Structures are given as structure tokens and as C-alpha cells.
Amino acid sequence: MSDIVRRAQALVPTALALAVVTAPAAAQVTGDVPAARPDAIVDLATREGTRFVNGEWRYSDTRIVDVDHRAVGADLKASGAPTRAYDIEPHAGAAAYDDRTWEVLDPSGLDARRSKGRLAFNWYRLNVTIPARVAAFDTAGSTVVFEIVVDDYAEIWVDGQLPTVLGQAGGQLPKGFNAPNRVVIARDVRPGQRIQLAIFGANGPLSQPPPNFIWIRSATLQFYKPGRIGGGVKTAADVLRKDPSIDAVIPREGTIEKIAGGFGFAEGPVWSEDGYLLFSDPNENRIYRWSPDGQVSVYRANSGYTGMDIADYGQPGSNGLAIDREGRLTILEHGNRRVTRLERNGTLTILADRYDGKRLNSPNDLVYKSDGALYFTDPPFGLPKAFDDPRKELPYSGVFRLADGQLTLVARDLTGPNGIAFSPDERYLYVTNWDTARKVVMRYELAADGSLVNGRVFFDMTGAPGDEALDGLKVDRAGNLFVSGPGGVWVLSADGRHLGTIRAPELPANMAWGDADGRTLYFTARTGIYRMRVTTGNIGAVRGHSTQ
């Protein structure tokens, strides 16, 4: 074995090396919201159940109508030449829609065949009022799920809203032929709260309209006690407390909770301002979405590579993810060796793929500065043979800055630059090094032009036992660093003291701050996703900030 190969194997992250020789496990993904059994069910297909929530079913057929429209324009919207298209009447999803003239249905007759048949659509509308008690518990603070099975398909509007988030598995039409469509209609409910439901039914298959009709197989409200939704298995947080000040960062009574599992290798998490977690699985070549309802769904397939030689790659998919100041997702693609941005209209913009005419290695992790400049690390760990790969074109592993369309190399002193984050005041940029011979966190000063100066070793973990080097990195509002290192997540103070180590059930690869208050630390850890509450939390909710 050559010295180059030995060196490359020592530098390649352990999980990546394993991924090259073992097939990734299939993710245990569910589209149901949530998978757990409810604490109480109200059957809305009965008079008793509908009466219990002060409900009343109303019904209307729909018509397919010919309307004026415009062809697709240069902006990919309906801004082109005038044309004709099709629409439906009525549009009855709005919460305030007046359905008083509609037919009132007997709940016990929801299974009656309705619509005109063939290519047909219809509306069912229902108001429900949250009762004070259901079964043997008070409903206050509960989460309520509406589940309906329409023969053949359904969309569900809740208080005039139809969720249209990429990867959302409940609410929209393509849920599956006669599949249960489950939507969380309210969280932390209060007794007496009224919720308007509108169900748009469709006969199907749409590509071969059948001669039969639309009807409801089942409809229920499912109540979950507080804390039941989106949660998982909680265990007491195993924290090695090296310094008393760690108690101000991580409470002694803290827990770690596993919220999803079964992935090939979870990486690159980011919390969306819309209230869900996105993360990569570079082994499986996907970006997943986890919602607080407990739902995991595929947000983006083929997230990093579609080449014919994909079997050669251990981690062809995306790695680091970040949200910019305009709320757009930035993606680091291993196999394609580039930085891309997912636009609002669904198109993909290539932000960077070459430097000095040479292809990037395999962009790994990234962070936005508050002025919109993007910094990212570029080791070769996404290449099939890492440092010894013939595809490698750059002779170094760099840290790059992308601003105003200009890509600049700002550091090249690390063999395996990996995690990256700013200090709260953005005076410093921290970068971790994946190199078992040099397990260091570097700290660079930011010059006025955005370049890096006066780089120095901020913390050295080289003496720590184990084959793991340094991976992901996040910084809290107090300036403490959370570093994925040997044995867990090392918590380092802003002045370089080792405060403690979070020893998670699986070794975390990276982290993200999440939830409304920014005080939940989400871990992507090998095959699972974990979370824990901390005292400090992230810097703020500014789009594109370093903690995002």
C-alpha cells in the first residue's frame, strides 16, 4: 500500500470509508403524520362523533370550466401569450367560503357515491369545535390530526390553507390511491377552538377515469396528548462535564431524544424558517425533511449526483445545507462537485463548481455571513478514492468565499477542512480539520474585504483517543463552540476551554439550531436524527446567519 493511499485512508472520515464497501441501509421513511397510535379517536362518519365536535358535513359537486390564461413566459410563470386553460368551480378551500346553500350530509351516509363519475371532483366541508374533554383526558394542549380516506384521492384544506411544501406527504392530492391522508390540523389546542376543514375529492386514476364515483371510506379526528407528536425515545443526556460553567450551557436534567432513524449516513442539517428540519443523506443521494409532526419525507431525490458511475461513490449525494437571506436552500453536492441554490420556482442555480479553471473537490460544509457572503470547505472526501482519486483536480483542500458571483480561496492550510461557523460578532471564522494526525479547530480573523487572516489553532484534540477526527461545528449566542469530535460533541468556550462533551447514542456528524426559540440542538448522527434542549441556543433568527 502506497504512502499516499495510507494517508488518504487516515484522512477519510470513518463512516465514509465504511460507506465505500457497504451498501447504505434503506431509510425508514413514513409519510404518515404521526405513526403512533392516538390517545383518542372521534369518528366523523357517525352522527354521534360529528355531533360531539359540533360539526356539520356539507357537500357540492364541481364543474370543469374553460378559462382565459397565459402561456409560460421567460420567468417560468404564466406571463406569456394569451391562451385557454381549464379550472374548477367552485374554489371552496377558503375558510370563509359561504357553503350555506350546499347540501347537508348525514355523517352516517358519507359512503354514498357522489359526483358525476368518470373525470370528476367534489367538495366536502366540515367545521369542528375542540371539546374540553375526549375519552378520559383534557384536550388542552393536545395535537389533533384529521385523517380521511377518499375513494380515490383527496386534498385537505385547514382553515383556508393547503400546505404546499416540498416533501410534504399529507394534505396534497398525490398521497396514493385510496391512501389515508393525514394532516395535523392544530397543535396545542384549546377547548372551544373552531377549525374549518375542506376536502377536495377526485375520482381516479386521473389518467384513466373510471366509471365509478367519489365517496368517503373513513374520516376521523385523532387526539394526541401533549408531547406525543414528533417525539421519540428520550434518554438522560450523557454529558461529560469538564468545567462547572457547562451547567450554564446544558442543564443537568437534560435529555437526548431520537426522532428518526434508519438512514445511510445523516449529514448537513439546517432548520427552515417554515418550521422543519432538512438534512442530507449523502450515501442515499437524498435530502430529507423532518417536521415537528413526526413526519419524514424525501425533500429532494438525486441530491448530489446522477452520473452513470454512481456505484463507484460512497457518498455521491448532497452534504452541507444552508438557508440564505432570501430563504432559499443552498446545497453542497458531493458527486457533482459544486455549490447550488434551489430557487423559489424550483429551478437549480449553479453558484460555484470551478476555481482557477479546475473542478472543486467535493464541497462539504458551509455558512453564510450576515452580509450574504458564503464560506464553504472543500475536502475531497466525496470522491470515490478521496486524495488518491484521479478525478481530483485541485492540489489542495481549500476554504472558499463566494460573494457577488466571485469565488475566492481564503485558506488552504488544512488537509481536511470540514465544519465551519462564525463567532457571534463575525470577527472570527472557525474551521474544523478531519485529519486523524491533526485534530484541530482553527480560528481565523475576518479582514474588511472578507478574507481570512491570522489563522491559528484554537483547540487541539489530536491527543484524544479514537479514529474519529473533527466534523461538524456550530456556535451558540454566547460564543461557545459545539464540535463533532472524538467520542461526541465537544463544547468549547469562546476562550478555548473544554467545558464538556455530549456523548450521544450515535456519533454526531453535524448539528443545527432549531425550533422557534433556537434553543434545540439537532444532531445528524450516523443512521439517526437526535435533538436536545440547551440553555444558550443560537445567535438569532436572521436569515443566512452563521447558525442557520
- What is the average pLDDT across 201-207? 93
Q: Give 258-277 as a DSSP string.
A: EEEE--S--EEEEE-TTS-E
Q: How confident is the model at residue 256 (pLDDT cuts 50, 70, 90)?
A: very high
pLDDT of residue 1: 33
- What is the average pLDDT across 534-545? 63
- Burial of 388 from C-beta contacts in 10 A (0-12 / 13-18 / 19+): middle
pLDDT of residue 196: 97
Q: Is the pLDDT of residue 152 over 50?
A: yes
Domain definitions of the chain by residue range = 3-31+230-533, 40-224
- What is the average pLDDT across 171-182? 74
Q: How confident is the model at residue 6 (pLDDT cuts 50, 70, 90)?
A: very low
DSSP category for residue 466: S
- What is the average pLDDT across 221-242? 86
Ranking 21-25, 323-327, 425-429 by mean pLDDT, the lowest is: 21-25
pLDDT of residue 18: 41
Q: What is the pLDDT of residues 40-53, one digit of tens each?
A: 999 999 999 999 99
pLDDT of residue 150: 94
Query: What superfamily does domain 3-31+230-533 belong to in CATH?
Result: TolB, C-terminal domain (2.120.10.30)
Q: Is the pLDDT of residue 248 over 80?
A: yes
Q: How confident is the model at residue 548 (pLDDT cuts 50, 70, 90)?
A: very low
- What is the average pLDDT across 490-507? 97
User: CB within 8 A of 323, min separation 6: which ones?
Assistant: 270, 272, 273, 329, 330, 368, 543, 544, 548
Q: Is the pLDDT of residue 448 over 50?
A: yes
Q: Is 223 helix (H, G, I), strand (E, B) or coil?
A: strand
Q: Give 284-313 as a DSSP string.
A: TTEEEEE-TTS-EEEEEES-S---TTGGG-
pLDDT of residue 133: 95
Q: Is 19 helix (H, G, I), strand (E, B) or coil?
A: helix
pLDDT of residue 40: 94
Task: Name the residue with cell 348525514.
Answer: 106
Q: How confident is the model at residue 232 (pLDDT cuts 50, 70, 90)?
A: confident
Rounded to whole angstroms, the Cα distance separating 374 from 371 reads 9
Q: Record the cell numbers describing residue 292, joined without a space.
A: 415537528
pLDDT of residue 8: 42
CA proximity to 43, closest of 191, 222, 194: 222
Q: Record the cell numbers describing residue 186, joined without a space.
A: 392544530
pLDDT of residue 17: 44
Q: What is the pLDDT of residues 292-347, one digit of tens each?
A: 878 888 899 999 999 999 999 999 999 999 999 999 999 999 999 999 999 988 89
Rounded to whole angstroms, the Cα distance separating 238 from 379 reads 31
pLDDT of residue 274: 87
pLDDT of residue 175: 67
Q: What percent of the chain has pLDDT over 70?
A: 89
Rounded to whole angstroms, the Cα distance separating 59 from 82 reads 34
Q: Is the pLDDT of residue 286 over 90?
A: yes
CA proximity to 159, closest of 193, 136, 135, 201: 193
pTM of the entire structure? 0.85
Q: Is the pLDDT of residue 32 over 80?
A: no
pLDDT of residue 488: 97
Domain 40-224: assigned CATH number: 2.60.120.260
Ranking 8-17, 78-87, 120-129, 297-306 by mean pLDDT, the lowest is: 8-17
What does the mean pLDDT of the chain come to? 90
- The enclosing H or E element of 482 equals strand 481-485
pLDDT of residue 187: 85
pLDDT of residue 306: 93
pLDDT of residue 136: 86
pLDDT of residue 229: 75
Ranking 24-28, 310-314, 471-475 by mean pLDDT, the lowest is: 24-28
CA proximity to 151, closest of 104, 201, 221: 201
* Alpha-carbon separation of residue 354 from 68, 350, 398 (angstroms): 45, 10, 12
Q: Is the pLDDT of residue 544 over 50?
A: no
Taking the chain, what is the end-to-end CA distance rounded to the nearest angstrom? 42
Q: What is the pLDDT of residues 338-395, one digit of tens each?
A: 999 999 888 999 999 999 999 999 999 999 999 999 999 999 999 999 999 999 999 9
CA proximity to 331, closest of 306, 310, 351, 311: 351
Rounded to whole angstroms, the Cα distance separating 236 from 22 reads 32
Domains 3-31+230-533 and 40-224 share a fold: no
DSSP category for residue 114: B
